[in-house]
Structure 1
Amino acid sequence: MKITIITPSLDPHDAISIDVLEQRKHLLGVKYQVEIFSEFCHDSIRPLLATKEHVIQCLLEPDNLLIYHHSIYWELGEKIFQLALCSIIMKFHNISPSFFFEGFDPLIFRVTQQGRKQTARLINSGKFKWFVGDSQYNVDELIHCGVNKKQCSVIPPFNLLQGFENTAPVTKIEKTLKEFDYVN
């Protein structure tokens, strides 16, 4: 089984990016094949990326797994998601309500508004096997959007804590993967 992690952007000092990169690092450490893809990427991270074409090929294999980090409107991500024939997990990082940005930043207002609508479309697709929130607040938001609470868990974001083998994200992601027989 190959695990593909996708997110709209990767930057070395961004919290969601750190979560993605540390998740990749951990999964590689427990001997999974892991690919990551991002449309917008800092040059220092670019060598880690798989091509869009390779990612799509991986997602067409039913035995593989897609972890979709959802944090803002991402048109290409939704197109890639729609092509996937494998199991899919949403890692939900919360999308701020657009009204916070109204009158201050038209671009952020638009992409947060579109992102919240996209959240509903993704959920209503019925394609997700599991939903993971960074916090109980995020899980509650997913439930409010119609997700069955029995399909949800909280896994705090990975961070840059070096040398802490039993931190919550590490043990919780292993537990979640074991529930789906992804870990022996």
Structure 2
Amino acid sequence: MILKIKDYFDQIALCNNFFFADFSEWLFYNGMLFGSYEKWWGDFGLRSNLHEGIDIAMYKDKYGKTKWFDTNIKIPAMAKGGIINICNDFLGKSLIIEHELSQNKKSRIISVYAHVCVAKNIYIGRKIRKGDIIANVCDTSRKKSNIPCHVHISIMEVKKKISNHFLNWEFFEVNNSDLVKLFNPWI
């Protein structure tokens, strides 16, 4: 079983009280989606690599107004698992969770939550449940990239032989197709 992002949207909305406020629907630029080479910020040009996941940053309210994420947005865990790494990324921190979903004894399923501020009670080795608050969206306003606040989610299968401390963006962004298999969270 692979994690599905559509199931995760309700978790984000619930923990941030969107359903009790003015939430209508999620909004995405093409560049926010898995596999895109387009940017959704700045000059809207092209990325140097395909997008490894999905960026969640905005929604439409019931009045038709676009609402962007800010640092108050809480990030829940997509599924139960264990925190196996916390590392820097170019906008904040990335949190890597291993899930007990793989049918393959030589690999494991992980989810990556990038551009976040990790919650104080989250640490490497901690077990978490689906829906536990693991982070908040990071303040990206002072970064040179000028990318709006968002959470990036990647889902991948990695070989068990890869040490947890190597599971970071330096490793993910290199062509390691024999060691890492990215999944489109929409499918």
Q: TM-score with structure 1 length normalisation?
A: 0.26
Higher RCO (CA 8 Å, separation ≥ 6 residues): 2
The TM-score, its normalising length taken from structure 2, stands at: 0.26
Question: Structure 1 or 2: larger strand share?
Answer: 2
